[in-house]
Structure 1
Amino acid sequence: MGADYYQVLSQPHRALRDYLAAMRDGLARLVPGEAERPVYASAFFSRASKPEQFAALLALLHRETGVVWIVQDGLGTHRMSEPDTAEYLRAISRALPPTGWVGLLEVFDQRRGPGTGPVFAPSEDAEVERRRAIWCSSAGRLPEMTFSLNQRIAAARARRPRR
């Protein structure tokens, strides 16, 4: 299954393509003379499609809209295995040009305790380096961005009324 897998887009994929193109065009109208600036959209994988299918869709949408994908690795949520994550990163790096995507490394760990909701904590330095190595070996490059939920959590706690 190659990059031409999505030559005929399904209705939901056509709607997404049209939405991304409209967003790009609308932003260009808001800031005249800046039409060549890229529009970024976040993407993450969840096994809803095979790695090659997912990568082909991102590549097609990039070609048709110019959107640059911010690809989240999902390693902080622990919802996918590292080998599965590596396979998605390999497929994306084969399907998209280097300028068509940037990598986003999750530097947090999401855990669930018995009977509790998600708990977020910063990843240990050694874990972050291990995740970077997964990026290098899978995508042939390091992620350009990092993402941590801890700042949001700290800000929410600061806004809570004290008892």
Structure 2
Amino acid sequence: MTIARWLCALATLTAPSVAIAQQAMRLDTRMFVERVTTDINGRERRVLSNADRIAPGDQLVFVVHWRNEGSNPAKGFAITKAVPRGARVDASDPGMDVSVDGGAHWGRLDQFWLPTPLGGVRRAGPEDVTHVRWTLPRSALPGESGRLSYRAVAR
């Protein structure tokens, strides 16, 4: 994927968005690249840096900040984010549901099968994930905020 496409995806992700007007839930997503460096003592250090340059194989970290800006609690709210094209999601988070069909169906990655060009089926893989979703386990009170994250690899 070209850097221009990644920058377009990054611009879309970092723009604040309002999820559902009635619940006034504000979502802000940031994308980082995880870099592994060695310090002066020879120890590995993992550092998150801005995603201004992305290459295939880079470890990506997406951080979703949410805030209930409404005057009522948000009950059973689901935070849904599209996965940027060219990112292979790490779907191992037990609190995260995934979709491989644009958000029509949700579940764990190992529950999905996709058709093959020759008429068979195959198990869906991390590269097939189109959307990720988390359902808040309890009501989010007015003014309450939180953070969710997921990892991916640039293809």
TM-score by length of structure 1 reads: 0.27
Please state which structure has a larger fraction of its residues in helix.
1
TM-score by length of structure 2 reads: 0.28
The higher-RCO structure (CA 8 Å, 6+ apart) is 2
